[in-house]
Chain A
Amino acid sequence: MEWINIIVQGILVGGLYALFATGLSLIFGVMRLVNIAHGDLIIAAAYLAYTVIQLTGLHPLASLVVVLPLSALFGYGLQLAVLNRTLDKGILPPLLVTFGLSIIIQNFLLETFSADSRRLNAGAIEISSFSLMPGLDIGYVPLLTFACAVAVVWGLQYLFYHSPMGRSFRAVSDDPEVSQLMGLNNRTVYAAAMALSMVVVAIAGVLLAIRSNFDPFMGPGRLIFGFEAVIIGGLGNLWGTLAGGVILGVAQAVGAQIDPGWQLLAGHIVFLLILAVRPQGLFPKGVA
């Protein structure tokens, strides 16, 4: 039962990693942009929620009502004002600009909030759980996180394959030149995709901040987890990304059980093994 419990807890943690990864996968799928600042944007969203809660006294989950639209608006503006300028110029400019953005965000958060760790207080739900069977307890927050991950992936899949906006995303991803002849302004389509990605980022940031402490320098670590989940799952496949997050979470949980110091190492080893054996990931697909 102990190992079943470990695997289940790993699966639930994998939901959070999938949320880290989904926004990354979406942006790469639509515009082939590797966003080095993705982890920092997750942490920035957590700080935004922290600020909203300080100002309004809202519950962390309720703060999403404010944080989600603000994040989407920021993503839209960021893409239009900065990131669009880096596209169509090779692989290096987006990497350099988002790397610079990452440093700017970290230092802005440090200057504004100090290096002290923070946490969003969600009340009793943080430590509440229910027993599925003897020896297997499920926490409400981890379950909520996993449910959010599934809902986000399902929602994005639905949007991609059953809406005019999703059709536009896929067309721009397939052929950015010809898509213009369909009346699509690629720059605003990219901005819409970034806004959507930032909505997922905000959900991930708030759930992370409820589950654990956060500080201005946690972003790069979340980026690594996100990258690993995307690569394990296969580029451009959102359900694959969820599976990648789950595999990473289970690997870390199993590693931690063998030796607490092996938690992160086990995840990285599984990632490297999959990269070596199946570089295209487990469930690759043409587009998100």
Chain B
Amino acid sequence: MSEPLLTVERLNAFYGDAQALFDVDLTLARGELLALIGANGAGKSTLLKCLTGLVKNRTGTIRFKGEDLIPVPAFEITARGIALVPEGRRLFPSLSVEENLLLGGKVARPGAWSLEAIYDLFPILKEKRKSPSTLLSGGQQQMVAIGRGLMSNPDILLLDELSLGLAPVVIKDIYDLLPKIAGNGLSVILVEQDVSRALGVADRFMCMLEGKVKLEGRPDAFGREEITNAYFGT
């Protein structure tokens, strides 16, 4: 079996004196979609921030394509091939839709995603390309955030709280596009509060509780009760 694209071993993360992650292990294969589920404060977003270097106070190993990412600063992570779509979108409000997308491609690697490819995926963004990103609806903002992440042609796309604050119909539209987004061998780590939807699209899942991994495996390998118990720690 080939070496995983990403291997995380004994990862611990800290905010000041408070420890947020405890010896987290994780592997991700090329083209795999891993759902990261857990209640608020479980450490899901912290884990993604560790992978992108935004949380610097961490110990352990993060090995990506054979390279240890711990010493790599956050601003070099995207060029390495990991892109984050942050929780709450966090678009740049003073930039237009197109400027947000172009900035996402500032350190683009060769690949299928380009401005035109993003506009093909989300045609509404082409119409709104000159608009300030703040004037878009929540769903359109999420499209820009996903497009911005894809513009760098990453090997791994980290999607943090994909459906948070969006209308159900918009969530469905975005989830319907996930197979297209995750095509071409792109690996995805999907952090999601909507457990059933996440498990419906994931190849594998990891359930976290209070900074620790409580359960992991293929979604169809566990019963609903087992996952619920891991989710709530009961």
Show the binding face of A for B, using Cβ within 8 Å.
164, 167-168, 170-171, 173-175, 177-186, 286-287
State which residues 35-65 of B face A: CB under 8 Å: 52-54
Show the binding face of B for A, using Cβ within 8 Å.
52-54, 73-79, 83-84, 86, 90, 92-95, 99, 102-104, 106-107, 148, 152
Q: What is the chain B residue whose CB lies nearest that of A182? A: B103
Partner of A181, one of B83, B94, B95, B102: B83
Taken together as a complex, chains A and B put the C-alpha atoms of A182 and B84 apart, in Å, by 9
Q: What is the chain A residue whose CB lies nearest that of B49? A: A177
Q: Taking A178-B86, A180-B53, A180-B73 as given, write out 8 further A-B residue pairs in contact, using a Cβ cutoff of 8 Å, ordered by the A residue number.
A: A171-B92, A171-B94, A171-B95, A173-B94, A180-B74, A181-B84, A182-B103, A182-B106
7 contacts between A and B (CB under 8 A): A167-B99, A171-B103, A174-B92, A174-B95, A180-B75, A183-B75, A286-B93
List residues of chain B with CB within 8 A of the CB of A181. Answer: 52, 54, 74-75, 77-78, 83-84, 86
Partner of B90, one of A175, A183, A184, A186: A175
If A167-B102, A170-B95 touch, whether A178 touches B75 (CB-CB below 8 Å) is no
Overall SS of chain A's interface: helix
Q: What is the chain B residue whose CB lies nearest that of A286? A: B94
Taken together as a complex, chains A and B put the C-alpha atoms of A171 and B102 apart, in Å, by 12
- Most A CB atoms within 10 A — which of B53, B79, B99, B104? B99
Partner of A183, one of B79, B84, B93, B95: B79
Would A167 and B84 count as touching, CB distance under 8 A? no
Within the complex, what minimum Cβ distance (angstroms) separates B121 from chain A? 19
Q: What is the chain A residue whose CB lies nearest that of B76? A: A183
List residues of chain A with CB within 8 A of the CB of B95. Answer: 167, 170-171, 174
